[in-house]
Amino acid sequence: MTRESAERADTRRTLYARRPPAAVQLAAAGREALRKLDPRVLHHNPVLFVVATGAALTTALWLTALAGRESETPASFIGGIAFWLWLTVIFGNLAEALAEGRGRAHAESLRRTRAQTTALRLREPRTDAARDEVAAGDLRRDDVVIVEAGGIIPADGEVVEGAAAVDESAITGESAPVIREAGGDRSAVTGGTRVLSDRLVVRITAPAGEGFLDRMIRLVEGARRQKTPNEIALGILLAALTIIFLLVSATLVPYSGFVARAGGQGGAVDLTVIVALLVCLMPTTIGGLLSAIGIAGMDRLLRANVVATSGRAVEAAGDVGVLLLDKTGTITLGDRQATAFVPAPGVAARDLAQAAQLASLADETPEGRSVVVLAKEQFGLRARELSPGDAVFVPFSAQTRMSGIDVDGHALRKGAADAIAVFLAERGGTLPAEIRAGIARVAKLGATPLVVADGARALGMVVLKDVVKGGLQLEFEEMRRLGIRTVMITGDNPLTAAAIAAEAGVDDFIAEAKPETKLAEIRRWQQVGHLVAMTGDGTNDAPALAQADVAVVMNSGTQAAKEAGNMVDLDSNPTKLLAIVGIGKRLLMTRGALTTFSIASDIAKYFAIIPAAFAANCPELGALDLMRLGSPQSAILSAVIFNALIIVALVPVALRGVSYRPAASAVLLRRHLLVYGLGGLILPFPCIKLIDLLLGFLGVGGVA
């Protein structure tokens, strides 16, 4: 490990893995579990609310039994049932509290980062404007502040002037500073990060309390967590099942009384037994673990250095079929730089460089600025000071894909080959064959040619080069094994796009794409039934990111892109989607596996508690007592104890998630039906029998 990587690892451990000792975590979770017994909190989980109501009812019955109320049911048995029902509720709350507690240390670290700072607010968006010192919490959207070297950026915003190195380790865990500058796709800054050099003029884009850091804190704490559609649907199903079993249990009291009178033996089933039967009939296990599974899934995503603003996106990631990737900044490093001027026949290289420089004055992208720098380095050309009265500037845009200037009777333009070809055609000119051949040669090398024109005349090309990020081919190969199709979308010409696509290892590419092209491609895949994921970082990606089912935005991207996406990759690594897909699949599989286990284990509990509940009225039901339990009371209490303890046993599975290996869905389904379906059906039998033997040995709970 290099010194730099070791420093990054230390930073990440400090920020993301700093946790109290296990005993302290458990104690804190225990206190939170008791706090969640508040009915105002508990009613959000219908299953546990019903169990708590049953626990309260049996507690009241136990107290009346202790007070001398005559009953055929021993007070010790009633008290045992009440005790374990309360533990069932507490264990369910404990699972959720442990999941929430995993992010609290991280949240505290982020809160320290978000400590109140003062800001220098400019009265006008100019560096020489008058300044007012205000608290960071008093800033509003569209306020403009200046941040000097060593200062803390007070709130989320966009750099409107300047360029500086920024320390974002408090957010990303990376110790290496990043460059943030006005224009282009690296203008977004996050509140709480520190400017290390120079100074920045920032326009505030998020009001106090709604910034990226604030949302991150709420997410890691589990606060304001919105349940996903699947989680809501499962919750509704569990609530419906609870109501059904509640109605069934309520009818058993008069039904058992009728059977007793008709058969001349036994009597109505005791209310304590009815409550125990109801709790064991309900899917209590998954009801107690459901919330913890969702929170733990978000925590695993955060540990991958990805912040999700939507739990729905995490689930959707598990079923993604198509991945669209923006080329610049996503597949490539994104720092395309001008490397050469290639003049057309009869054009001097210096004249081409001067025209390209002038045409780039209105291009605020890093590529445009690199043209100005190259002209200065190769020919000593310096940018002319031009006022709006001397020239008409044509700013670069993603729609036109060119920039330019009208000055001294010349209409100078620089941009993509097809855009310049249209510009020339409108003025009666064409691209010379020599330039077309040069475009093909440059594109085959994986570089990007920009054509420079003066009115109806093509002057030559500017060559831009970018570098594909390392390790992408292996990552894309893994995605193919998962059945995910990768498509690169770029504004480059087809030859350049083909060269980059081949080097990166994507399945397909779309060249000469405009923002609306990306949007149309996403809709096309969605219309044929695929869930589509997209990664991007630029403002021009925002419409497509908003349309995608899973929209992963690079942390280095613009504020507009971050607002359109539903996930932010703090590492700005496009291949992170592979980890996101794995996390999404683990979340879905964990919920499905534990739901299967819960329902399967209920079947075993029926064989324990139903024969016991009706033993006096229907001795024939004793044939269902496959476990040959000690007594009816012992059988009922054993089932209730198992029902409580299994929640505790499954908490690590809910928090960690079930194991996941890339495989076909049918294979995964068979595996989990075998492990969690058959396992859930078989495991309760020996466990309940063992608890029954232990109760008989100890002589507790009214079963002596």
Q: Which residues, 6+ apart, have CB-to-CB distance to 536 below 8 Å? A: 325, 326, 330, 544, 545, 551, 552, 553, 554, 557, 561, 565
Q: Which residues, 6+ apart, have CB-to-CB distance to 264 below 8 Å? A: none
270, 326, 418, 692: which is the annotated catalytic residue?
326
Q: How far apart are CA 605 and CA 634, in angstroms?
A: 13
* 337 close to 630: Cβ distance less than 8 angstroms: no
Antiparallel, parallel or unpaired: β 531-536 and 550-554: parallel
Question: Encoding tokens for residue 617?
Answer: 């009225």
Residue with tokens 């695929």: 530
Q: How far apart are CA 285 and CA 250, in angstroms?
A: 22
> What is the helix, strand, coil percentage profile of the chain, to 5?
55, 15, 30
Q: How far is residue 456 from each of residues 138, 354, 356, 410, 422, measured CA to CA in Å?
A: 54, 17, 15, 10, 10
Helix (H) or strand (E) run with residue 394 in it: strand 391-394
Question: Encoding tokens for residue 295?
Answer: 């929170």
What would the DSSP string read from start to end of 482-533? TT-EEEEE-SS-HHHHHHHHHHHT-SEEE-S--HHHHHHHHHHHHHTT-EEE
Q: How far apart are CA 605 and CA 537, in angstroms?
A: 53
Q: Count the alpha carbons within 13 Å of 675 in the hemisphere toward its beta carbon.
A: 13
Q: How far apart are CA 579 and CA 301, in angstroms?
A: 8
List, in sequence order, the alpha helices (H) in 576-683.
576-613, 632-656, 665-672, 679-682
C-alpha torsion angle, residues 369, 372, 375, 378 (rounded to 10)? -50
Task: Give the single-character DSSP code of 676.
Answer: I
* 323 close to 479: Cβ distance less than 8 angstroms: yes
Helix (H, G, I), strand (E, B) or coil at 391: strand
Residue type, 61: L
Q: How far is residue 694 from each of residues 80, 364, 564, 634, 690, measured CA to CA in Å?
A: 14, 77, 58, 10, 6
Q: How far apart are CA 440 and CA 136, in angstroms?
A: 53
Q: How far apart are CA 593 and CA 672, in angstroms?
A: 6
For the chain, give the longest Cα–Cα distance: 116
Would you tell me how many other CB atoms lie within 10 Å of the CB of residue 669? 15
Cα–Cα–Cα angle for 589, 592, 597, rounded to 5 degrees: 120
Q: How far apart are CA 470 and CA 487, in angstroms?
A: 18
Q: How far apart are CA 329 and CA 610, in angstroms?
A: 63
State the distance between the two ends of the chain, measured CA to CA, in whole angstroms.
64
Strand ordering across the sheet containing 163-167: 178-181, 163-167, 194-195
Helix (H, G, I), strand (E, B) or coil at 156: coil
660: nearest Cα among 579, 577, 589: 589
Alpha carbon of residue 624 to chain centroid? 48
Q: Is 466 a catalytic residue?
A: no
Residues annotated as catalytic are 326
